[in-house]
Structures are given as C-alpha cells and as structure tokens.
Amino acid sequence: MNYVTQTIIDILEERFSNDKPYLSEKIEELMTHENKYDGLNFLCTKADSTTISMYAQKQNLLLRT
C-alpha cells in the first residue's frame, strides 16, 4: 500500500467510522490499487469534495477552484 491510498483510507475511517459496510467496501476497493496513481485516480473520480479537501489539508496542498 502506498501513502496516497493509506491517507485516503485514514480519511474514510475518520469520516465513516459509524458506517462499517460502506467503509469496508471502500477499503476493499482501495486495497486493490497497485500504485499512488490509482489512489489519485480514486480521489479525483470517486471521492466527494469533503474527502478531497481533507486529503489536501493532510498533504498541505492548496486547492483552487
């Protein structure tokens, strides 16, 4: 597992700790990612704006819309 995928999993665990079925499904999907580019693709195509914002904050990135 790479740092991108691990960071996304950490965020999802923080946000959805009370929704175990959803969390398990997303973690299972993320575990299939072979590299950081797969993780970034997930972030760009499947994550909501809150998850993207949290990822940016954890990575000290500035997002401009």
Domain spans, the chain: 3-58
Closest CA to 42 of 13, 6, 14, 16: 6
- The reported pLDDT for the residue numbered 10 is 97
- Exposure pattern of 4-28 as b/e (b: 16+ CB <10 Å)? bbebbbebbeeebeeeeeebeebee
For the segment 22-65, what is each residue's pLDDT rounded down to a tens digit?
A: 999 999 999 999 999 999 999 999 999 999 999 999 999 988 86
pTM of the model: 0.90
Please state, in angstroms and as integers, the Cα–Cα distance from residue 48 to each residue in 23, 27, 28, following that order: 14, 15, 18
